[in-house]
Amino acid sequence: MEEPIPARVRGMKSLEAFQASLYRAAKADRGRKFYTLHDKICRIDVLQEAWRRVKENNGAAGVDGQTIEDIERSGLEQFLTELQSELQAGTYRVQCVRRVFIPKRSGGMRPLGIPTVKDRVVQQAVRLVIEPIFEEDFQDFSYGYRPGRSTMHAALQVFKWLNYGLTTVIDVDIQSFFDHVNHRKLLSFVMERVVDGYVLGLIKAWLRAGVVHLRKIRASYEWVTG
């Protein structure tokens, strides 16, 4: 008799199949726009995997002071069920981001925004749904922030071309790019594929979320001026 497949493994297989279907749909029609994604981010398997990734990153608490440990002590199943209900009813609200500063290797300080744990779970859920759609649109030589790819994969490509006799490597870095990227233009690129009003509303809310530092709230400069 075969051993039963654990529920979490079944959930992962279901989620992977779902993501693969989104990828195939995006690949089949590069001009396709996705209108109904709201219900997808409400799937319990999506929220469970989003939680797993947030917990794996082991981040600090946001402006509400709630930690990963607090949620687990109070009951993870209840947390995810209530979050699912909020997303389905449209009552979920984005909170401000807590601003901290960390030292950079090159000197100076780098600003870091820490969303609440709940916001991070929803952000991961949205990522799980839209990432397979946009993955098809990237060029094969693109390695940054893509699933299954890392700086090591990019370095191996450089090594390969060096062995072919190409000896010039150009290293370019845009200073503070993510601190000053134009949010309106960024959203316009997202809308080339995703046109689900609820999902776009979530992304807008995260981009517009105020930043709390020294008990003061600052609006997103990139959105106001973009």
Contacts of 139 (CB under 8 A, 6+ apart): none
Give the three-state DSSP class for 112. strand
What pLDDT is stored for residue 107 in this prediction? 77
3-state secondary structure of 153: helix
pLDDT of residue 109: 80
Q: Residues with Cβ < 8 Å from 13, sequence gap 6 or more?
A: 5
- In this prediction, residue 221 carries a pLDDT of 53
**Widest distance between CA atoms in the chain:** 64
Please state the φ and ψ torsions of residue 193, each to the nearest 5 degrees. Answer: -120, -45
pLDDT by residue for the chain (226 residues), tens digit each?
444 444 444 456 789 999 999 999 999 999 999 999 999 999 999 999 999 999 999 889 999 999 999 999 999 999 999 999 999 999 999 999 998 888 887 777 877 889 999 999 999 999 999 999 999 888 888 888 888 888 899 889 888 988 998 888 888 887 777 777 888 898 999 999 999 999 999 999 998 888 888 777 777 655 444 4
Q: What is the pLDDT of residue 1?
A: 42
- For residue 146, the Cα-to-chain-centroid distance in whole angstroms is 11
Q: DSSP letter string over 67-98? A: -HHHHHHH-HHHHHHHHHHHHHHT-----PEE
Model-level pTM? 0.84
Residues near 128 by beta carbon (within 8 Å), at least 6 away in sequence: 15, 19, 41, 46, 49, 50
Find all residues with CB under 8 Å of 60, minimum gap 6, and list them. Answer: 67, 98, 100, 114
Residue type, 41: I
